Amino acid sequence: MYNLESLLNKALIVKVSGDAARILLIERLVLNIISRASGIATLANYTMNIAKQHQWSGIIAGTRKTTPGFRLVEKYALLCGGCSTHRFDTSSMIMIKDNHIMAIGSITLAVKKAKHLASFVNKIEVNKNFNFSFKSPNSFTFISCKGRM
């Protein structure tokens, strides 16, 4: 999964100074946040490397919901791993999914209704599931590939 060269490249993530008692109060919280972000960035980078190995020219984007209160951290971790953040929140664009298409009856009608309700500056994206997924090694994470219409 990892090559030796990437493991040897090290970077200072955080440098802390101050009162030891106060540092120790927040140490575990900070380590947990860094660990979570590092895991997201690592999986994002791993996914990007698989795409490159298969000469895939599409965009890998984090389209899943984020952990409440951690949106900014998790979106930044995706960027660090080489993926796109897709949209920051639900106000960033209108996204039409399979269930919307099924409820309205067609992609064309769903887009027409969205255009009617949206401002001219809103991007409208249609996500259609291609049912392509893979299991990453050493974990139970499944990543689905979504396509743009």
65 is catalytic: yes
Cα separation, 36 vs 11, in Å, equals 17
In sequence order, which residues have a C-beta less than 8 Å from that of residue 95 and are 6 or more positions away? 87, 124, 125, 126, 127
For 56, phi and psi rounded to 5 degrees? -80, 130
Q: Which one from 10, 15, 52, 65 is the annotated catalytic residue?
A: 65
**Active-site residue set:** 65
